Amino acid sequence: MSRLNNRHIVLGITGGIAAYKAAELVRRLKERGAQVHVVMTAAAQEFITPLTLQALSGNPVHTSLLDSEAEAAMGHIELARWADLLLVAPASADFLAKLAQGQADDLLSTLWLACQAKKAVAPAMNQAMWADAATLANMDVLRQRGVTVLGPAAGEQACGDVGLGRMLEPTELADLAEAQFQGRALDGKRVLITAGPTREAIDPVRYISNHSSGKMGYALARAACDAGASVVLVSGPVALPCPEGVERVDVSCAQEMYDAVMQRVARTDLFIGCAAVADYRPAQAVEQKIKKNAETMQIELVRNPDIISAVAGAEKRPFTVGFAAETQDVISYARGKLERKNLDAIIANDVSDAGIGFNSDQNEVVLLAAGLEQALPRMGKQQLATTLIDRLAHCMAS
């Protein structure tokens, strides 16, 4: 899998005949797992339509600085912050001059100034324009400011001239975009995470469940995605948005969660069981709503499958990580669970402390594995998730 997986690329397209190749470039970037937002100058729209690029990128195309609707959806500053790489391809002579001058009179040039991510340009112009002293001086300015210049290539040009000035081919540009990024801890890995509670039906309107908010599992999914992995999140019912770049599979009860996980386990490198799976379900889910006729009632419960034990026992077994929410003797109970469920690692936390665990935004855990006991102090769940993913990637590699 590519180092571009889950990377955020803003592709700026300026006005030149090579703009048609930008469509192909979007495809090459998407093939490698990048998320792409396209920004077009007015001149670029004379060569290729925003609709084409919207269809290929899967995102609305940004064309105007002064469009209140577009700004409300994702403003230019937000887009500048979202980008891991801002790539202008093709970059016309005029636009490169504008960048060298620091002008900000349209969306793309404004975004360029506002963006603190890596920046690259792929010049495309007539060979005489590329060789002109003004263009060469502008390129020097941009290089000195840390802008990566990709190309141009030599060859036959649309105008009939032969020489330097052709935009690099889309595949070459995608390779060079990828080369801008260092490897990440989970590049190329497939991660499966369970999160949230399960609901075990008593009748069509009632169920047994628990207070799990899903926050920790969702934070882990986001952190794994940021670390380069392809992430599937099998989620019980929670009120959280799916992190960008993560594939969410919605389930309701433990049996559905079990099925969704076991279907995917052979294609998983790292499994994290973060869900608070109900241990028992009503032996019979009654088809009609139960009437309140009697003073007391009994519901017979039967055990649910233990999902994580099934994962750990699978023939093609991923690196398997569980959670142990305990109220006393946290470490020794967690170690017991690590061994009994045949896990590679377990994350233990003390849920008797109201400030951490279940609905809270903070958590404090101990990571246990064979020969490892690492306490991670109280911190926000997202920061903790990032730390845990980093440690788990390390454990997997060693």
* Nearest approach, Cβ of residue 263 and ligand C5P (Å): 15
Closest distance of CB 8 from ligand C5P, Å? 31
Q: What is the DSSP letter of 197?
A: B
Catalytic residue annotation: 159
Q: Which is nearer to ligand C5P, 120 or 346 (CB)?
A: 346
The residue whose two tokens read 């002293």 is 133
Residue 180 neighbours by CB under 8 Å, 6+ apart: 85, 118, 120, 148
Q: Measured from the CB atom, is 66 or 283 closer to ligand C5P? A: 283
User: Residue 282 pairs with which residues in a beta bridge?
Assistant: 301
Of 48, 27, 24, give the one whose Cα is nearest residue 36.
27
Query: Is 253 near ligand C5P (CB under 6 A)?
Result: no
Of 147, 167, 308, 348, the residue at the interface with ligand C5P (CB under 6 A) is 308
Please report how close the Cβ of residue 397 comes to ligand C5P at its closest, in angstroms.
22
One residue of 127, 135, 304, 386 binding ligand C5P per CB under 6 A = 304
- Which residue number, 171 or 352, has a Cβ lying nearer to ligand C5P? 352
Q: CA 189 from chain center: how many Å?
A: 13
CA distance 166 to 157: 6
Of the candidate spans 110-118, 147-155, 262-270, 299-307, the one that interacts with ligand C5P by CB under 6 A turns out to be 299-307
Task: Please say which residue, 2 or 235, places its beta carbon nearer to ligand C5P.
Answer: 235
Give 155-161 contacts, CB < 8 A, sequence gap 24+.
Answer: 157/126, 157/127, 158/17, 159/126, 161/126, 161/127, 161/128
Alpha helices for 58-148 (secondary structure H): 68-74, 76-82, 93-101, 107-114, 127-131, 133-144
Of the candidate residues 306, 312, 344, 357, the single one contacting ligand C5P (CB under 6 A)? 306
Give the residue with the Cβ less far from ligand C5P, 299 or 310: 310
Q: State the nearest-atom distance from the C-beta of 183 to ligand C5P, in Å.
A: 29
Q: Which of residues 312-371 bind ligand C5P (CB under 6 A)?
A: 322-324, 337
**Min CB(308)–ligand C5P separation in Å:** 3
One symbol per residue from 256 to 285: x for binding ligand C5P (CB under 6 A), - otherwise; what is it? -----------------xxx-x-x------
Task: Please identify, using beta-carbon distances, which residue of 212 and 386 lies nearer to ligand C5P.
Answer: 212
295: helix, coil or strand?
A: coil
# binding residues, ligand C5P (CB under 6 A): 15
Measure the CA–CA gap between 314 and 271, rounded to whole angstroms: 12
Contact 313, 340 (CB under 8 A): no
- HSE toward the beta carbon, residue 365, CA cutoff 13 A: 24
User: Which residues in 158-197 contact ligand C5P (CB under 6 A)?
Assistant: 194
204 upstream amide cis, omega within 30 of 0: no
Euclidean distance between CA atoms 163 and 397, whole angstroms: 48
List contacts with ligand C5P (CB under 6 A).
194, 254, 273-275, 277, 279, 304, 306-308, 322-324, 337
